A and B are shown apart, each in its own frame.
Chain A
Amino acid sequence: KAGVTQTPRYLIKTRGQQVTLSCSPISGHRSVSWYQQTPGQGLQFLFEYFSETQRNKGNFPGRFSGRQFSNSRSEMNVSTLELGDSALYLCASGLAGYLTDTQYFGPGTRLTVL
């Protein structure tokens, strides 16, 4: 089975712009979660989607949003980019969305905000 794929792998944007990141989960997986990784804050949970519904949300401002499509693919959007949004954004997929499910991570999208 193919793993979790994320596109694009690298992005460079300027402050004030918006960006959309894409994630395709492992075939058959219905849960998709997003995490932000920075040197200062480490790995932080953004949100989780299951069957096209956002089930959980982390402590991030409303500029961060996402959605999930009927084929389980997910997109994450960040509007009005700030320098502090520079990070590695990781997507993880899970089979059925249970707490005990293993979350399998993609390679990430490296976002640089100038």
Chain B
Amino acid sequence: AQSVAQPEDQVNVAEGNPLTVKCTYSVSGNPYLFWYVQYPNRGLQFLLKYITGDNLVKGSYGFEAEFNKSQTSFHLKKPSALVSDSALYFCAVIMDTGRRALTFGSGTRLQVQP
């Protein structure tokens, strides 16, 4: 079985400050990890993924995420938040020996204040 936890329902950050959106996972094999963002009345937009290799993954719009196997975490980060980053963020996992079906976390709403 596989699961993803996003412990914060909402994260508030001031524009220009760094942001972190947390994600932890539980799988019985090796994880493939993904971050998506959803704007109101829109589908999910892919940000980045970790498959193997370098633990620091860089993605779209200045976002990056760090894979930490010992802490089973894959936190999303950005050095300087923009008001336009305000949206709903989802972490998702697929297990390397599992089926091709993303298991999503519950989502974290990011609010960036001007």
Within 8 A of B (CB), among A82-114: 90, 92, 94, 97-108
Q: How many residues of B are counted as interface, with CB atoms below 8 angstroms from the partner's CB atoms?
A: 25
Within 8 A of B (CB), among A30-73: 31, 33, 35, 42-45, 48, 55-56, 58
Q: Give chain B residues whose Cβ lies under 8 Å from the Cβ of A102.
A: 34, 46, 49
Contact with A45, one of B44, B45, B49, B103 (Cβ below 8 angstroms): B103
The interface residues of chain A, by DSSP majority, are classed as strand
Residue pairs across A and B with CB atoms within 8 Å: the count is 63
Contact with B36, one of A4, A31, A105 (Cβ below 8 angstroms): A105
Given A90-B43, A105-B36, verify A100-B51 contact (CB < 8 Å): yes
Q: Give chain B residues whose Cβ lies under 8 Å from the Cβ of A101.
A: 100
Nearest-neighbor residue (CB-CB) of A104 within chain B: B46
